[in-house]
Amino acid sequence: MTGRPELGRIRRALAADGEPLDAEELLDVLWLAARLPPSAATALARAAALAEPPAVDPAHRDADGSTPFAPPSPGHDAPDLATADTEPGPVLRPAGETGLHAAPLVRQPPARSDRPAMAVRAPGVKALGGAELRLGRALRPLKQMRPDFLRSELDINATVTAMAETGLPEAVLRPATTRWLDLTVLVDDGVSMLLWQGLAGELRRLLERCGAFRQVRVHGLGTRGPTGPRLRSRPYGASAATLPLSAVLDPAGNTLLLVVSDGVGRSWRDGSMHEALLRAASAGPTAVVHTLPRRLWAGTGIGARSWRVTARRRGAANRSWHIEDPLLPPELAPFDGVPVPVLATDGDVIGTWAQLIGSPGETAVLPLLTPPPGTVTAPPPPGSPRRDRTVGAREAVSRFRDSASTDAYRLAAHLASVAPLPVPVMRIVQHAVAPAVDTSHLVEVFLGGLMHSADEVERPPHQRAFDFTEETRQILLGTVPPAELMRTTRRVTAHLSELGGSPADFPAWLPHPGGEDRVSADSRKPFGWVGETLLRRLGVSPPDVSEYETPLSPDDELRPLPPGPTLALHTTRWRRLTVSDQRFEGRWALPYDVFAEYGPVESGVFLAHDGEGRLLVIRRPGDEPDAHALIATEVLALQRMNGSCSPLLMAWEPDHERPWHAVLCALDDPTQPAPDLHDFTVQHGLLHHAGLLTVARQLATGLARAHELGLVHGALTSGRVLIAGRDAQILGWLTASVDGMDSRYWSVHRQHPRYRAPELNDATEGPTREADVYALGCVLVEAAVGQGYHGSPSDALEAAREALEPAFIGILRACLHDDPARRPPALQLRRALDSLAGQETDPFTVALGFDADLDSVRLDLRGEPGGGDGPHLLCQGRPAQVRRDLLLGVLEQISRQAGRGVAFVLADFDHRSGFDRFARRPGDVSFLGLRQGGTDVLALGDLLRRELRRREAPDARGAYGQDRPPLLVVAMDDFPRVHRLAPELHTVLREVARAGGRLDIHLIMSADHMDLVATDNAFVSRCARVDLLSRTAEDGSLALDGAVLHIHSEVGPVYFTTGHESAVAADRHR
């Protein structure tokens, strides 16, 4: 067919339909002819192959035995060109290639023509494209480090210098360095943001890999609801619990907040999102990343205007910026917007913004968020009611053509030719269209009101398919020549082949006899074709279509879900039951509609609804001989607990042939049953101090109530604790001990050895209250550090020191003591946890630790005339780091409780105190590293002398502008060496020590050791004293045995633990 006579013959045959072809169209026809079956009803086929229809390869037969491209019957007229130009017609499959489908079918029962299909991961296109490298470079100014005062490292130079000066092998530590900022990314996850899910994911990975942030947290942001913006624990997680935006604000200002949105949501238009961002701008650096191109910003709720911004310090909160118009003076153009930059993803503005955040005193021109635009009609998202059906398809298309660009209108026709399709496929089609169109044109189509959701069931966001109505499709396809649509399909196929070795991006379905899903045999459904080579790259062997399995039996139909909110059971351990399940028929019937069972195999725990809107969890064991006794025990325990930190019992039949009981189902949100604690930590991450303390208090309350009612659980594990929102429930009371009587079946059903107290390893011992407390400690340790720890739970607590306060660790260590007599009762444990969670309102009172009864040891820093134990405090002993941590804890409590009513004067000898963390407090003065002497020592003395004179003056209240002078705390680490640096400093410190009680000045001193006999009595006669009790461990290091508080009272010394004690020595004074 390469000679001229044959080519001329082909041209004449193709022109028989009345329309001559140009050179480019002829090339397209030749490409298609090599891939069409010989029996296709075309002009070329009529001219060359009408004599005898060729045999059809059995591999190309459909499931029902028919061929996908059968020749027309003798009486069938071929379609004319006028019809072909306006009707979508089938997309013909190239020989030897398999169609790639966007989504499986969900119709029940399946049609005979449906074909089994296998899910594969298909390659897609990147949303950032070439901008990823520019963005990575733009973020370099944020790659800064800061000292981390919770971790220390060896200062080699200082250690060498100290050893050379003193001749002693003394190690000098300094704070370890850590990344400067944390990052919280809020991804707007509305329907319109499905188009930008890939962009959000790529942006998240870029931010995690750039090395600028210590920790990256990502949350979903809902801006479509009437109650204002709400957060979810993860983006695009419809079943996640919601939180207010204030939940992610960092009062310390060390977290960068980045909001990724397209500005389409309701909260952007009514101003509630602007108010939330204004509050965020007061806490720390905040910015908005606009996903849409700049030319489309005007049609969204995120507007921006350029302003000149000056940041006084690096990482400053946005509301502290100095903002002015780039051209006009402030009197003529005052700033009236929201001090939050609006950043595009092209990298230019992001680089300017990063330079501003990371540099003190930097000035830059940035687009800042403008006030809300007022009442603006939002474009209907693709999942909303179909506007084109309401006003008619022709009118809807006409409106879209008037408002959209020419390229967007052309792209809509290409999308309609392969719809329904998910967002990743839309992007592939967009990249295949020629002349080229960009993402902004895809946005116009997606938000233009022509598309609607095509899913009959809830799917993950990247699998949700969108479609056009049939009337709209007909109109759009009539605007583009069929040859252009065919070229686009060919480019999609070529693009998939080129990306065959790229990382997988989205799921697609291939017809395959070994597949578990089903796709339609309709030839319009595939969006592209893959050959044998790409099939093998995707990990699929070429299918033998003749081996397709038969359709599903109607008996395998799943039981219907209850009316109301759709339950997201696919994200949990619950599985739907089939209609053919006979376990609840006839004599085994239950008074509820059972529709799901827990676990992959028969577990005897079911999910049901009562017809009145309530979900119930039913426990009905199988044919076990102990079923009646187990159910009777659990019913009795649940009746006594009466829903207090336990499931609420609704109905029961322990004497039935198959005993059962039903409890009210605890829900994590309206669409998902509550997970157990183990699953909760897997989904949401390990619990840190605040979250773990909340769970611990509720569980301790539940155990205390159970023990008070004569119940001992005996089998507590993380799998028997439910987390339902902010509530925790204890379940699994099947083998509980009641009124001192142990269950006969406890040894058969007892807990995993991980949670079992040491004294229960003897098979003769039954469950005890002390063993319940031990199991609770194990559950809490696992929630804090995970299941992968080695050794005992007490050893695993060392891994939780950065996440938990020392006092909390001390409580957990008491629960895990090997001696059951030394474990606190559940009621005492609950009181200790309540004390730890309580906020002390008196700024003079600080908590130091817990005594042997887990009662909080508190110190009142007021002087004796005021009924206190102060006014001064001396902390002495070693290890030095423990002493400094105790001192820092005291200062943090005073700072938190007194707020702006306290000022600090901080001093140390050699920069090892950790006082740097208070350097950012307004009004505080630091004199750190005074070992060199010099002017800093004299300046410290002059400051304290001036403060004494001001407070002793008759008009002291007026000098401070308030009713009374603020509380002044003078904190000094290595006090003996500091106060002897200069005679003037020693003198003024003696005056502070003597007059501090009546002038609201408190001297807090820390030292390895102070000779209480040789030390000036002015420093020790009016102070409370904390002595650390330490010993030398076997490896030569110092180990803490606790601490003792000495105060001026008749109580005597008070022994307590700080949380830094070793597991062996923590209870020496109990």
User: Does the pLDDT of residue 637 top 90, yes or no?
Assistant: yes
Q: Quick check: 915 and 928 in contact, CB under 8 A?
A: yes
Q: How many helices (H) and strands (E) does the chain have?
A: 32, 42
What is the model's pLDDT at position 8? 65
User: Does the pLDDT of residue 1045 top 50, yes or no?
Assistant: yes
Q: Letter for the amino acid at 368?
A: L
| β-bridge mates for residue 906, sequence order | 926, 971
What is the model's pLDDT at position 72? 33
Calpha distance 919→908 (Å, rounded): 13
Calpha distance 215→178 (Å, rounded): 10
What is the model's pLDDT at position 17? 53
User: Does the pLDDT of residue 543 top 60, yes or no?
Assistant: no
User: Does the pLDDT of residue 572 top 80, yes or no?
Assistant: no
Q: Letter for the amino acid at 359?
A: S
The whole-chain average pLDDT of the chain stands at 77
Calpha distance 234→684 (Å, rounded): 8
For residue 482 the two structure tokens come to: 């069929």
What is the model's pLDDT at position 232? 85
> What SS3 state is found at 69?
coil
Calpha distance 553→525 (Å, rounded): 24
Mean pLDDT is lowest, of 189-193, 387-391, 657-661, 921-925, for 387-391
Neighbours of 651 (CB within 10 A): 15
Give the Å distances, CA to CA, from 863 to 163, 866, 902, 948, 1044: 42, 5, 17, 17, 20
Confidence of residue 965 (pLDDT cuts 50, 70, 90): confident
What is the model's pLDDT at position 1068? 42
- Buried b / exposed e along 606-621 (16+ C-beta atoms within 10 A): bbbbbeeeebbbbbbb
H or E element that contains 495: helix 482-498
> What SS3 state is found at 517?
strand
CB neighbour class for 220 (10 Å; exposed up to 12, middle 13-18, buried from 19): buried
What is the model's pLDDT at position 86? 36
Calpha distance 865→850 (Å, rounded): 26
User: Does the pLDDT of residue 90 top 70, yes or no?
Assistant: no
DSSP 347: S
User: Does the pLDDT of residue 82 top 50, yes or no?
Assistant: no
- What percentage of the chain exceeds 70 in pLDDT? 74
Confidence of residue 701 (pLDDT cuts 50, 70, 90): very high
User: Does the pLDDT of residue 69 top 70, yes or no?
Assistant: no
Quick one: average pLDDT of 696-705?
93
Going 401 to 406 to 408 to 409, the CA torsion angle's sign is positive
More confident residue, 28 or 488: 488
Calpha distance 136→786 (Å, rounded): 33
Q: At what angle do helices 689-708 and 627-641 cross, to 10 degrees?
A: 100
User: Does the pLDDT of residue 853 top 70, yes or no?
Assistant: yes
**Residue among 77, 152, 230 at smallest CA distance from 879:** 152
What is the model's pLDDT at position 619? 92
Confidence of residue 226 (pLDDT cuts 50, 70, 90): confident
Calpha distance 242→225 (Å, rounded): 11
Give the Å distances, CA to CA, from 254 to 40, 121, 146: 68, 39, 11
User: Does the pLDDT of residue 343 top 50, yes or no?
Assistant: yes
What is the model's pLDDT at position 606? 92
User: Does the pLDDT of residue 1046 top 80, yes or no?
Assistant: yes
- In order, the DSSP letters of 438-494 are -HHHHHHHHTTT--EE--SS---GGG-EEE--HHHHHHHHTTS-HHHHHHHHHHHHH
Calpha distance 948→956 (Å, rounded): 10
Quick one: average pLDDT of 924-939?
82
Calpha distance 47→51 (Å, rounded): 9
> What SS3 state is found at 389?
helix
**Residue among 843, 844, 969, 988 at smallest CA distance from 906:** 969
Backbone dihedral region of 190: left (phi > 0), alpha (psi from -120 to 50 degrees) or beta? Answer: beta
Calpha distance 679→724 (Å, rounded): 12
Cβ neighbours of residue 986 closer than 8 Å, sequence gap 6 or more: 979, 980
What is the model's pLDDT at position 207? 86
Confidence of residue 872 (pLDDT cuts 50, 70, 90): confident
Rounded to the nearest angstrom, the gap between the alpha carbon of residue 590 and the centroid of all alpha carbons in its chain is 40
Confidence of residue 955 (pLDDT cuts 50, 70, 90): low
What is the model's pLDDT at position 632? 92
* CA neighbours closer than 13 Å in the CB half-sphere of residue 262: 27
User: Does the pLDDT of residue 502 top 60, yes or no?
Assistant: no
Quick one: average pLDDT of 653-663?
88
Calpha distance 285→318 (Å, rounded): 6
Quick one: average pLDDT of 637-659?
90
Give the position of tokens 């390990």. Answer: 686
What is the model's pLDDT at position 99? 67
DSSP 851: -
Is the overall model pTM greater than 0.75, yes or no? Answer: no
Q: Tens digits of per-residue pLDDT, 298-319?
A: 888 888 889 999 988 888 888 8
Confidence of residue 571 (pLDDT cuts 50, 70, 90): low
Give the Å distances, CA to CA, from 834 to 349, 477, 533, 855, 856: 49, 68, 65, 10, 10
Confidence of residue 45 (pLDDT cuts 50, 70, 90): very low
H or E element that contains 1054: strand 1054-1056
Q: Letter for the amino acid at 788?
A: G
Q: Quick check: 519 and 98 in contact, CB under 8 A?
A: no
Give the position of tokens 């006594």. Answer: 640
User: Does the pLDDT of residue 837 top 80, yes or no?
Assistant: no
Confidence of residue 238 (pLDDT cuts 50, 70, 90): low
What is the model's pLDDT at position 663? 93
Confidence of residue 648 (pLDDT cuts 50, 70, 90): very high
Mean pLDDT is lowest, of 177-186, 453-462, 843-852, 893-902, for 453-462
| Strand ordering across the sheet containing 322-324 | 242-243, 230-232, 213-222, 181-188, 255-261, 286-290, 338-343, 363-369, 304-310, 322-324
What is the model's pLDDT at position 389? 43
Quick one: average pLDDT of 526-532?
64
For residue 835 the two structure tokens come to: 């004390």
> What SS3 state is found at 779?
helix
Cα–Cα–Cα angle for 1035, 1041, 1045, nearest 5°?
A: 145
**Helix (H), strand (E), coil (C) string for 652-677:** EECCCCCCEEEEECCEEECCEECCEH
Calpha distance 920→926 (Å, rounded): 10
Please compute Rg for the chain using Cα positions. 37
Calpha distance 350→342 (Å, rounded): 9
Going 235 to 607 to 650 to 732, the CA torsion angle's sign is negative
User: Does the pLDDT of residue 258 top 50, yes or no?
Assistant: yes
For residue 21 the two structure tokens come to: 């072809």
More confident residue, 59 or 519: 519
Confidence of residue 7 (pLDDT cuts 50, 70, 90): low
Give the Å distances, CA to CA, from 422 to 114, 148, 195: 20, 46, 9
Q: Quick check: 963 and 957 in contact, CB under 8 A?
A: yes
Rounded to the nearest angstrom, the gap between the alpha carbon of residue 480 and the centroid of all alpha carbons in its chain is 45
Mean pLDDT is lowest, of 47-51, 63-67, 753-757, 946-950, for 63-67
Q: Tens digits of per-residue pLDDT, 416-453?
A: 877 777 888 888 888 888 788 887 788 888 888 888 87
User: Does the pLDDT of residue 32 top 80, yes or no?
Assistant: no
- Buried b / exposed e along 34-57 (16+ C-beta atoms within 10 A): eebbbbbebbbbeeeeeeeeeebe
Mean pLDDT is lowest, of 16-30, 566-580, 915-929, for 16-30
DSSP 1057: B
Neighbours of 23 (CB within 10 A): 6
- Buried b / exposed e along 481-496 (16+ C-beta atoms within 10 A): ebebbbbbbbbbbebb
What is the model's pLDDT at position 376? 44
What is the model's pLDDT at position 924? 76
Winning range, highest mean pLDDT, from 467-471, 781-785, 840-844, 1021-1025: 781-785
Confidence of residue 537 (pLDDT cuts 50, 70, 90): low
User: Does the pLDDT of residue 378 top 50, yes or no?
Assistant: no
Q: Quick check: 862 and 844 in contact, CB under 8 A?
A: yes
- In order, the DSSP letters of 967-998 are EEEEEEESHHHHHTS-HHHHHHHHHHHHHHHH
Rounded to the nearest angstrom, the gap between the alpha carbon of residue 395 and the centroid of all alpha carbons in its chain is 43
| Bridge-based pairing state of the strands 173-179 and 145-154 | antiparallel
Cβ neighbours of residue 778 closer than 8 Å, sequence gap 6 or more: 754, 755, 793, 816
Confidence of residue 253 (pLDDT cuts 50, 70, 90): confident
